[in-house]
Structure 1
Amino acid sequence: MWQGNAGMVPNILFIMYDQLRFDYLSCAGHPTLDTPNFDRVAARGVRFDRAYCQSPVCGASRMSTYTGRYVSSHGASFNNFPLKVGEMTMGDHLRKTGMDCWLIGKTHMKADAEGMARLGLSPDSVIGARVEECGFDVWVRDDGLWAEGPDGFYDRKRSPYNEYLKSRGYPSDNPWHHNANAGVTDAGDIASGFLMMHADKPANIREEDSETPWLTRRTIDFIEAQKGNGPWCAHVSFIKPHWPYIVPAPYHDMYGVDDIKPVIRSDAERRNPHPVYGAYMDGGIGTAFSRDEVRETVIPAYMGLIKQCDDQLGRLLDYLEDSGQADNTVIVLTSDHGDYLGDHWLGEKDLFHDPSVRVPLIIADPRPAADATRGTVCDKLVEQIDLAATFVDMAAGEVPRHILEGRSLVPVLEGKNTAWREFAISEYDYSTSGAATRLGLDPKDCRLFMVVTDRWKMMHAEGGFRPMLFDLQNDPDELVDLGASDDHADIIAALYDKLFEWARRQSQRTTVTDAQIVARRKGGAGRVGVLLGLYGDEDIPAEYLTAYTGKATPADTG
């Protein structure tokens, strides 16, 4: 039962799982993976069945979600491409409404250090810290990828999780890898989770100390500390089920080969593929995931990681209920992108087939206005940039449409019949990839764009390549590329018209609203004394001339 009054602003628990496929939940139809707690949230709210991320790679996707803007608007188009100083984020927008916005976990944010230095923004200041942390106030940040090679660590920031593990007695200098993300061979050696042959081993860590339970506890600590301090938005960002694909007991052997969904791929996809698609199939990741033994070793571990995520979600839901906060808290569950897992002869993410670009999205709003849609599934085309606008709307703020390019989902949650978008967009910059090297492309030509409608999905590739096209009605698994079909030239042209319509959007005028522009029209420049195109005998408002009339003062020309 809603505990607040009708105008009360709820708290927002915004949970993101990294690399979670849209169809690896029982409420989304997975035949063998049981996720009762995801299902529990879906039963309380709306599951959006056709939600798309704005780029199928961590950094660019997250920057779009946090800014509420498309990749080509904010410019941080790949991992470790800095988000330029000046881009507003959901934290900036929410604080204007009086709602705090906190981070617990990962952002993959790369700060624009050069821009901050140019403007004299110190990371030690409140403003500088927020700029450096993607607009969030940080409860705890850990991007969860403490890989180490001959040139040092991939991520050179401090790891709170590694420090926690050391405090728990794990003796390694990098227990994130040696314990949380590695097993042990029969000979007693480290079995690195980066080598997928070890995915069937239990991680060398106590389950309660692994990453997902650790971040769950930090989340509960945060909510406990906020009692009486609301309203708040907490972005809880789990690293799992992202690789390394290894999970502690008892989750490591909960699933086996018989629990794996049939692979979605065909031999025809390998015959004369689109050049960009072919370059990814021929890469190391695609080659690996084309092997049955890789899928049969990795996918059960991936499912175990998701099962652990579901169990820990249950802990959070129980805590909210037991502490009396469930009815004042909106719960949002999503992912930054999916995982091919061998479908379409690919692994990881990168391209625009559904296993990669389509994401789970479940929103449970406890307020009475959302009662009519509880337990429903929405098939509208949703973009993940819609979340920023949704949160501002929930916080009783005015959505700044000249900045935020997404749309509030609140009317949908309340069952209102509202006009909606006819197509969704995703973008991908693959200029740093091995595929770009194999194709011999300049960085400017390494850009992909997806346009998807209710029935059709098209991928446009810069660099002079033909498009890819899929008929989602007759080919829902996206196995037949119609991009070279003369019979579909009209469909392709219509989708290019939609891409061109999107490309003409107003996206860079972020400092002046439409309302301010309209207000400037009233009275025009004459109200500040700028009289253009007037001869002097027109019907000019007298107040415009007040400062320009009266007796002249003789000029001193001596």
Structure 2
Amino acid sequence: MLLEVDQNGIANGHVPQNGDGASNGHGPFAAQRRRNLIMFMPDQLRYDSLGCTGNPVIRTPRFDKLAREGTLFTNCFTQASVCTQSRCSMFTGQYLHTSSHRSINDLLKPWEDNMFKVLKDAGYHIAALATRGDLFGAGVTELCVNEYGFVESPPNWPPKYTGKSRTTQTEPPVEATVEQRLFFQGLVEETAPQDYDEAAINSALAWLESSPPEPFVLFLPLFYPHPPFKVKDPYYSMYLAETLPPRVKLSETTGYEPRFMEHVRREYGLDRATEQHWHDIKAVYYGMISRLDDQLGSIIDTLKHQSTGHLWDRTYTMMFTDHGEYLGDYDMVEKWPAGVHEVLTRNPLMIAGPDLPRGQVTEALCEMVDLVPTVLELLGVEERYPHSGVSLVKTIKETLTEHKPYAFTEGGFLLREEPLTERGGFPYDKKSSIQHTWPDSVGRAISVRDKDWAYTYRLYEEPELYSRKHDPGEAHNLAALSEHAETCQRMREAILQWMVETSDYVPWKQDGVGHVERGRQARSFNWILPRPLQPQVKCDETPGECLNCRKLELDCQWATPAGGPHDNFTDMATLALRSTGSVSVPGTSTVPAKRRREVVSSPLPTDASHWRADKTASHVDDVPSFQERSLLLDAFFSRVHPNPTASFVHRSDLLRTVHNGTVSRLLLLAICVISYRFSSLSDDAHPDGGERAAFWACRIRHDLMENLDRFSRPTLGATLLLIQHDINSGRSAAAWTLNVLATRMAFALGLNRQGPTGAQWMQAEVSRRLMWSSFCVDAMTHGGILEYCSCPASAVRINLPADEHNFALSIPEETDPLQRPPSLGERNRLGGLMSQYVRLMAIRNDVIQYCKNISEQPLKPWDTASPLQACLDALGRWHAELPSQLEFEEINLYARFDSNALDSLMSLHCWYDTLHASLYRVACPGFDQSLPASVLVQAPEGNRFRLLARHFPDHVPTMLDYSMWAHESARNLVQYSRVRGISPGGPMAGLQGQIREDLQIMVNVVAGMTRYFFCVRKRRFNDSSSYLSEQDLMWSAHKWRHAPGPVLEYLPWIRGELPMGSDEASNKDEDGHFKRHAVDPITLEPLSTSPHDVETGQITMASAAPQNEPQHVHPAPLSFPEGSPLQDTAERQHVFPALTSILDGSETVPFGMQDSSDWSQGWFWNESWD
């Protein structure tokens, strides 16, 4: 597609004016005949991949000839290692930190000046004969160019993936091979249609042969040799692996390397790459460049032999790229936003044309921001906006050896900018996932180079220093060596001076001084001025330390003045600084506090090997090391934080306070505890995830009990995380007890009421999330028993939480309360996922309470006025009001998969399905709330209750949409039995058959869950982190398979103290105590075991029978649902050997893992659903 232009080649009716460089006889450059310009711009071209730059193998005769016909710059550096950022910088002449084009999605805006706009306004005809889409934003293309698009369009364009797509996400293959993760595609068939570069070159040749209007600028932004690595013959077979220059291997490097390199190698699986893989990639990459060389030659030949005259004699030709390519160096491939190695940033800039020296090679340091003033000076166009470039024309014409003392490159993001980093589909899924999972790996970085040294400063990591003379491959980081300390200091000072000098610009267009608008009424602009600090009246205690008002969220007269936001947890940063006794915090007093909170007074330096905590009574000696904290924080944000009950943590603020040492010790320790089982440190045999996690959890409990009178938001947050950890670890009794403390703490802090009207939105939002997290945790622990509910919905009189995206970006959002008053009408401001989770938990309370009291209900479930119908209506409204981005649709699954938020969406919908199924437990056998069959048969014909009761055994294994309902049913049965405290002498008759039926249900559910996770999620996402691993299933199966033994241990006939069919008296020893027997959890029959076996817990189904009797055989083997992967024996042995051995009973039963009172409910909380 080409844009329409007038016959003079000027678009939008623009007429060149005096002073803009038009050839009208009046401009300062009117005497000079205006030249044309061609910019030949490959993508991702390494400096060392051309013959003229010293490569001994590659064949690039046309690049080499261009260098001989002009000037080659050997020390030119690009300002970013990613396409968009680099291009925006070089075509505006501004550094990333001043232009704010710091991400791949920040393109040039209509109000921004750039080289193309200036040239077009000066009368140049601009032709961009390709459609890359990574430079001009919406509405900018028509402002900057006259012709845009292909003359000969390539078929199937845009391709399925180009690495630049911002909207389309390609589904990954079933299993990405190492070749796919290396972006290697190899030989392209000769019959394949023309690709992007061929179409762009053919378009340029046709355009040049059509006598284009002069003066013109022809811009050719090509795609290759950007990955994927592929090319046709003869280029594919042009280079032999044994002749290629060696790469810089990881094994050859020394010193600290940036974290992203390890993450990329691990997530891409680059350890699978052999030396042959690296050779193949380089050979194809070189072949792509040789093809590029021929394409350049065709352009130059057309310029020299054009029929209307020799365009070459009146045209400048420039060749440059946007950035380089790792190409196997450091065992890496492609590039990285914070990567600043020389292989990514060194640019093979060439400039040739009339009146310029020929055959010149200069080592002068220069930058690609110098392109704008260089082009404008060559073409005789005046500069009209401020920039940081320095023209290279003088350096070229006078053969200067010095241009700039330093060259700078920058990239990366702040931690709080994590939501704005790249999001891409396959094959860039891993690259984007790393940036969101480990945001510090893409932290801000600045590299500075002179002719001798290259130094990199990283905001969240160690620095780098390389000798450019002795270590051109940058394999040996010397920054940590004392003999280079002076060099590091000099380079840091150069960065500081550069940042000060380039931090902003004074606009060239002045507004004037003293201009007065006449004829208008005077207006007050006081609203734009900061409000002065007003004298304040003390409520109580010392100024700035009104603890009572802060705790209870009262309207304190010593309120914080309007100003910048404090930390989300006000106690975290503010009180931590106050604890030093002398640091001033905005809005507070420097008077030492009378009462100290539990906060860290010493910082958490990144180079410290262990955390230095306060030397107080609650000092923890064994605390997470720096390396452990990094791993555990990664695990927290990737596996725990998406869980709504943990989403009160503001990610960027937490990471910032961790880095500057103001984080709450208790909160950080709780994060480490709950994250332990999800990290590489985890011990799967330990219920807490590991001994250290158990120790830290114990210390948190100790600190909570020691400081019960010191309530704060961080302490509440730590308590909530500890509750979730106890649930994950099977300590439901401990979780139930701690839940009371959490809800009381939330009420004492006044979080259940709307805060002061002047409170900052972020602080109020964190408070809301803490309160609603307390509400949700309470809903999960009280089991639907009204008298055990610590946090009823009616007591929480605050609005719902905001959308997670707005919370992450600190964008204020107004939401509705949980119970919307009629005055709000149909207004629907229900926030994000956590809001929907809160609403669902409120409905769940009603559902569970109804089910537990079904026998007391006067109305039948199918009556229209029944409470069950009210619950169904509430669930229907919930689903109808669900925002589209939270619906269970494939587009949402892919989007959340890339942002580590998939499990939270899955959990939300599983809870929704579970609540529907919970309502139907009244029709299911084996539960206390089941209605008698005599009542169920009274349901109207065709009613779902009758159908469910009639077809229950066949219905369970096929209900994939409700595969979690029996899971929840059993969980509530267990919890209800525990809370009721069933005694050994209670009525137990008739329960054996029910328990066996329940066990068969559980096995069916395991099969259903297995089928769902392995067949559905694996097929969709093909990522080990997105579905249950075999180890996860082993734990899950242990919990399902062996649940009845420990779960019902309070029942003497299950515990072995009272075998089935026996009376109580005959089973007591001589001391009057019940005799202990081991029980087969499937058959419920006693097994004879030695006391040693009982104590150690090593009881197996085969070895438990006495030697003088036949081996125990299950009388009724468990059946597996039709179509289940577990049904076929071969499939079971092939796919899940660990699961199979457990379900078959040949695996050791872990009864002795921990105290039975703690373990008794751990089976129903699979850690994969946290």
Aligned equivalent of 1:199? 185
The correspondence for 1:328, drawn from 301, 304, 314, is 314
The correspondence for 1:130, drawn from 133, 142, 154, is 142
| SS of residue in 2 equivalent to 1:391 | helix
Across the two proteins, how many residue pairs are aligned to each other? Answer: 457
| SS of residue in 2 equivalent to 1:497 | helix
> How far did residue 354 of structure 1 move?
1.5
Aligned mates of 2:179, 2:328 — CA distance in 1:
18
The correspondence for 2:231, drawn from 247, 250, 258, is 247
> How far did residue 212 of structure 1 move?
2.8
> How far did residue 489 of structure 1 move?
1.8
- Listed as ranges, the matches of 1:44-193 within 5 Å are 44-109=69-134, 123=139, 129-130=141-142, 135-140=144-149, 146-148=158-160, 154=165
- Listed as ranges, the matches of 1:78-477 within 5 Å are 78-109=103-134, 123=139, 129-130=141-142, 135-140=144-149, 146-148=158-160, 154=165, 199-203=185-189, 205-206=191-192, 209-227=194-212, 229-269=213-253, 272-284=256-268, 287=271, 291-323=274-306, 324-350=310-336, 351-367=339-355, 370=356, 373-400=357-384, 403-415=386-398, 417=400, 420-429=403-412, 431=418, 432=421, 433-437=432-436, 439-441=438-440, 446-463=443-460, 465-477=461-473
The correspondence for 1:492, drawn from 474, 488, 491, is 488
Identical aligned residues as a percent: 24
Match of 2:165, as an amino acid? Y
Cα separation, partners in 2 of 1:503 and 1:197, compared to 1, 3 Å: closer
The correspondence for 1:483, drawn from 474, 479, 482, is 479
Cα separation, partners in 2 of 1:418 and 1:212, compared to 1, 3 Å: same
Match of 1:213, as an amino acid? E
Match of 1:293, as an amino acid? Q
Match of 1:353, as an amino acid? H
Residues 199 and 301, structure 1, Cα contact 8 Å, conserved in 2:
no
Aligned mates of 1:196, 1:204 — CA distance in 2:
23
> How far did residue 243 of structure 1 move?
1.0
Larger fraction in helix: 2
| SS of residue in 1 equivalent to 2:40 | strand
Aligned mates of 1:336, 1:7 — CA distance in 2:
31
Residues 34 and 379, structure 2, Cα contact 8 Å, conserved in 1:
yes
Match of 1:140, as an amino acid? G
Cα separation, partners in 2 of 1:222 and 1:403, compared to 1, 3 Å: farther
| SS of residue in 2 equivalent to 1:470 | strand
Q: Higher RCO, 1 or 2 (CA under 8 Å, sep at least 6)?
A: 1
The correspondence for 2:41, drawn from 9, 13, 16, is 16
- Listed as ranges, the matches of 1:29-40 within 5 Å are 29-40=54-65
Greater shift in the superposed pair: 23-32 or 291-300: 291-300
Aligned mates of 2:157, 2:109 — CA distance in 1:
23
Cα separation, partners in 2 of 1:98 and 1:53, compared to 1, 3 Å: same
Cα separation, partners in 2 of 1:417 and 1:472, compared to 1, 3 Å: closer
| SS of residue in 1 equivalent to 2:229 | coil
The correspondence for 1:505, drawn from 483, 486, 501, is 501
Cα separation, partners in 2 of 1:38 and 1:417, compared to 1, 3 Å: closer
Aligned equivalent of 2:621? none
Aligned mates of 2:515, 2:106 — CA distance in 1:
46
Cα separation, partners in 2 of 1:388 and 1:271, compared to 1, 3 Å: closer
Residues 285 and 347, structure 1, Cα contact 8 Å, conserved in 2:
no
> How far did residue 242 of structure 1 move?
0.9
Deviation sequence 1:478-512 (CA, Å, 0-9, x none): 11101222222221111111111111125543632
Cα separation, partners in 2 of 1:217 and 1:526, compared to 1, 3 Å: closer
Aligned equivalent of 2:1125? none
> How far did residue 399 of structure 1 move?
3.0
Aligned mates of 2:249, 2:187 — CA distance in 1:
28
Cα separation, partners in 2 of 1:231 and 1:285, compared to 1, 3 Å: farther
Residues 256 and 462, structure 2, Cα contact 8 Å, conserved in 1:
no
Deviation sequence 1:181-206 (CA, Å, 0-9, x none): xxxxxxxxxx9995658633234545
Cα separation, partners in 2 of 1:43 and 1:285, compared to 1, 3 Å: farther
> How far did residue 342 of structure 1 move?
0.7
Cα separation, partners in 2 of 1:374 and 1:285, compared to 1, 3 Å: farther
Match of 1:364, as an amino acid? A
Match of 2:491, as an amino acid? L
Deviation sequence 1:65-101 (CA, Å, 0-9, x none): 2212111122221222333442211112212432232
Residues 146 and 153, structure 1, Cα contact 8 Å, conserved in 2:
no
| SS of residue in 1 equivalent to 2:129 | strand
Aligned mates of 1:148, 1:428 — CA distance in 2:
28
Cα separation, partners in 2 of 1:231 and 1:218, compared to 1, 3 Å: same
Aligned mates of 1:333, 1:216 — CA distance in 2:
14
Deviation sequence 1:236-258 (CA, Å, 0-9, x none): 11111111111122222111212
| SS of residue in 2 equivalent to 1:393 | helix
Residues 333 and 362, structure 1, Cα contact 8 Å, conserved in 2:
yes
Aligned mates of 1:479, 1:346 — CA distance in 2:
13
Max Rg structure: 2
Aligned mates of 1:526, 1:80 — CA distance in 2:
39
Q: Which runs of 5+ in 2 are unaligned?
A: 1-29, 171-176, 422-431, 518-1170
Match of 1:346, as an amino acid? M
Q: Which runs of 5+ in 1 are unaligned?
A: 114-122, 158-176, 178-190, 529-558
Residues 364 and 402, structure 2, Cα contact 8 Å, conserved in 1:
no
Greater shift in the superposed pair: 318-327 or 97-106: 97-106
| SS of residue in 1 equivalent to 2:253 | helix
> How far did residue 17 of structure 1 move?
0.2
Tell me the TM-score normalized by structure 2. 0.37
Aligned equivalent of 1:182? none
Deviation sequence 1:137-183 (CA, Å, 0-9, x none): 3431689984548xx993669xxxxxxxxxxxxxxxxxxx9xxxxxx
Cα separation, partners in 2 of 1:214 and 1:510, compared to 1, 3 Å: farther
> How far did residue 44 of structure 1 move?
0.5
Q: CA RMSD in A?
A: 3.4
Cα separation, partners in 2 of 1:76 and 1:138, compared to 1, 3 Å: farther
| SS of residue in 1 equivalent to 2:335 | coil
Cα separation, partners in 2 of 1:203 and 1:383, compared to 1, 3 Å: farther
Match of 2:397, as an amino acid? E
Larger fraction in strand: 1
> How far did residue 436 of structure 1 move?
3.7
> How far did residue 273 of structure 1 move?
3.0
Match of 1:25, as an amino acid? L
Residues 255 and 477, structure 2, Cα contact 8 Å, conserved in 1:
no
Deviation sequence 1:339-359 (CA, Å, 0-9, x none): 111112221122122211112
Deviation sequence 1:300-340 (CA, Å, 0-9, x none): 11111111111111111111111111111111011111111
